[in-house]
Structure 1
Amino acid sequence: MSAIRFFHMADLHLDSPFKGLFGLPEHNFKKIRTSTFEAFNTIIDKAIQEKPDFLLIVGDIYDGENRSLPAQRRFQEAMEKLFQHNIPVILSYGNHDHLNGSWTRFALPSNVYELPAETSVVQLNIRGQQVNIYGFSYSERHVKESKIESYPIASDQHVLHIGMLHGSEFSDTTHAVYAPFTKEQLLERNYHYWALGHIHKRQLLHQNPPIVYPGNIQSRHRKEQGIKGFYDVTLSQASVELD
């Protein structure tokens, strides 16, 4: 079977308000204020140029549960561009943009798979290789209980299994501990790749199989310094490459 390629990103926080910034010249503040959109547009342009098999977005697409109208429109436009290039998107919503918020819903095109509150599977067939992608969206802001037992254990190893999880390790208190897990629990699922979100620092928790936080796509305050972006992943039954 041939390898597949996908982009893994999380924590877009589109339309983050940058409330703590005062006294900047107007043009500088405007540049910072729109930086989450610019970072996201860069990824979308890269996807259209590179044509991965699909995109994974693991929670906190929007900065607030009301999902601002400008943010939703910009996201909708990006998904429509990907639709025109036949690039599927599998996404989940996290603690910032949970399903119980109040917002005016923007319809997304048919290439976008929105994971529901219950852990579900999206099945893709890519050049003869079946790919099962498991995950859930937050039904409310504070998901304190572990969700890992709702993920099925993979048995068919002819299928590539990918888990999407917006949450944190039990021991990691750098963010609020939501949907907690241990590395051992993830490894017990027998998946080929774990696509994580919620922690804004890029981290590789386990090498083989990869358990990966891509970090957020744009720094939002002075504690979020360093290179930001997404992971470009090439995955097969026998190997994985992360860029």
Structure 2
Amino acid sequence: MKFIHFADAHLDSPFRGLSFLPSKAFNQIYQAADQSLTKIVDLALKENVDLVLIAGDTFDSNHPSPRSQLFFAKEIKRLTDAQIQVVMIFGNHDHMKMTDLLVAPSPYFKLLGNNEEVESAHFTSKNGFNYQVNGFSYLNNHITEDKMSEFPQNGEDYTFGIMHAQEKTTTASQNVYAPFSVSEIKALNYDYFALGHIHLRQTLSEKPWIVYPGNIQGRHINEMGAKGCYLGEINEQTKQTELTFYSTSPIIWQEVSVTLDQKLSKNDLQDKIVKNLDNIKQSTYFSLRVIGAQYLTEEEMDLVQDTDFWRSISMQLAFDSQLVDVRLESNNQLRLNDSDQEAFERAENEIFTLDELKKISKDWANKSQLTESLVQNPDFLAEVKELAKVKMASKLKGISDETETN
């Protein structure tokens, strides 16, 4: 028996922060999740699988657009027309009623666990192999209770579990996505537990299999690398399962670093950046980290952070790849005299604290909901802190150079 496990398609995801892209590139990434899903269905048909497991967050919203609903229904029909069993659950993003889904009724399509109740469904493969799938769907965007006690124990048939959930943490306020522990899942003695929700592909256990496939298309720089689905093949005699990951995402995200140890002309800087982004095998969206940014002039700093500059770099890249993010970082190689070094460290300790940055940015934060949320985002504040350090180091470097030449 063969099966496919995927999750977190997030159809209709808005891909915020990329509006500066040329229309062709913006359309490319807007369609990327759809294309990835189509490739997954193509793989299912090619491999003649018996089962497709969809572990939640197929849509980015519980009110998906007609376009994404119709597209999804068309792809599911390709599977059910081929008599491939599809078992789907809703996640915290697409918490919907079963009646809101536009998929045509079919004996080969099953939405499992409506009303957040664990449900068991029993099936037989084309070769007469019996299996069951146990799981539940979200009806609300949060589930705070541990659902594991509601799952039945493994029976004689090969048993799948399916759940859109997150491991328990020590912070109670974070346990809002059907929190579980790996030991609880292992205690059920299932053969394969198909998880969704975490966008990083990872295997929590191999005996038994407890697997997050990740999302099917990275949406930003924190979702790097190949994305896709797992193809599982079950030995029907021993019930042993082998897994193979298949990359289906048409676009991948990648972070690349460029290290500076001296001043460069603008042309040399551009050439260095293009050279470091040149090793491409498919369409790639890059985040560039410039380490040693204190060697950039003020004008060069403005240049590398300008989206027009990013577009000029992108035009030199293969596979319609794009530079979409640049971050500046000091590498602490700057040598200051003792008094300057002392002043720098004192400023860092007094000013570069998150509390102080929040205080400084208070007025700016009040301008809109977006700026308010950014000030509360520790990653954003860390980037502001790093940029301030880079600019201060650059200023001090200039003072140091002037002193040395006199």
Mark yes or no: TM-score above 0.5. yes
Residue 8 of structure 2 corresponds to: 11
Residue 148 of structure 1 corresponds to: 148
SS of equivalent to 2:216: coil
> What displacement does 1:108 show?
2.4
Q: Does 1:216 align with 2:212?
A: no
Query: As a proportion of its length, which structure holds more helix?
Result: 2
Residue 160 of structure 2 corresponds to: 162
Residue 181 of structure 1 corresponds to: 180
Q: Deviations over 1:134-176 (max 9, x none)?
A: 000001011121111110112x33x101100110111398x87
Residue 241 of structure 1 corresponds to: 242
> What displacement does 1:100 show?
5.4
Contact 1:69 1:104 (8 Å CA) reproduced: no
Q: Any runs of at least 4 consecutive aligned residues in structure 1 with deviations exceeding 6 A, and if so which?
A: none
Residue 206 of structure 2 corresponds to: 207
**Match of 1:57, as an amino acid?**
I
1:172 & 1:219 partners in 2: Cα distance? 28
Q: Which runs of 5+ in 2 are unaligned?
A: 245-406
Contact 2:90 2:96 (8 Å CA) reproduced: yes
> What displacement does 1:121 show?
0.9
Ranked by relative contact order (alpha carbons within 8 Å, sequence separation 6 or more), the top structure is 1
Instruction: Number of aligned residue pairs: give it.
Output: 236
TM-score between the two structures when normalised by the length of structure 2:
0.56
Aligned residues: percent identity?
38
2:83 & 2:6 partners in 1: Cα distance? 19
Q: Deviations over 1:61-91 (max 9, x none)?
A: 1001101111100000011111221111000
> What displacement does 1:112 show?
1.0
SS of equivalent to 2:120: strand
SS of equivalent to 1:188: helix
Contact 1:201 1:224 (8 Å CA) reproduced: yes
Contact 1:93 1:137 (8 Å CA) reproduced: yes
Q: Does 1:90 align with 2:87?
A: yes
The correspondence for 1:23, drawn from 13, 20, 23, is: 20
> What displacement does 1:238 show?
3.9
**Pair member with larger Rg:** 2
C-alpha RMSD of the superposition = 1.8
2:138 & 2:146 partners in 1: Cα distance? 12
**Match of 2:160, as an amino acid?**
I
Q: Deviations over 1:6-44 (max 9, x none)?
A: 000000101111122131101100101111101111111
> What displacement does 1:128 show?
2.5
**Match of 1:84, as an amino acid?**
D
SS of equivalent to 2:188: coil
Contact 1:100 1:140 (8 Å CA) reproduced: no
Residue 112 of structure 1 corresponds to: 109
TM-score between the two structures when normalised by the length of structure 1:
0.92
The correspondence for 1:58, drawn from 55, 59, 77, is: 55
Contact 1:148 1:185 (8 Å CA) reproduced: yes
SS of equivalent to 1:241: strand
Q: Deviations over 1:100-119 (max 9, x none)?
A: 59x95414240210111311
Pairing 1:112-131 to 2, within 5 Å after superposition: 112-115=109-112, 116-117=114-115, 118-126=117-125, 127-131=127-131
Contact 1:164 1:194 (8 Å CA) reproduced: yes
2:170 & 2:38 partners in 1: Cα distance? 31
2:161 & 2:120 partners in 1: Cα distance? 9
**Is 196-205 or 108-117 further displaced after alignment?**
108-117
**Is 14-23 or 92-101 further displaced after alignment?**
92-101
The correspondence for 1:76, drawn from 59, 73, 76, is: 73
Contact 1:8 1:195 (8 Å CA) reproduced: yes
1:240 & 1:64 partners in 2: Cα distance? 33
Contact 2:164 2:196 (8 Å CA) reproduced: yes
Contact 2:144 2:175 (8 Å CA) reproduced: no
Q: Which runs of 5+ in 1 are unaligned?
A: none
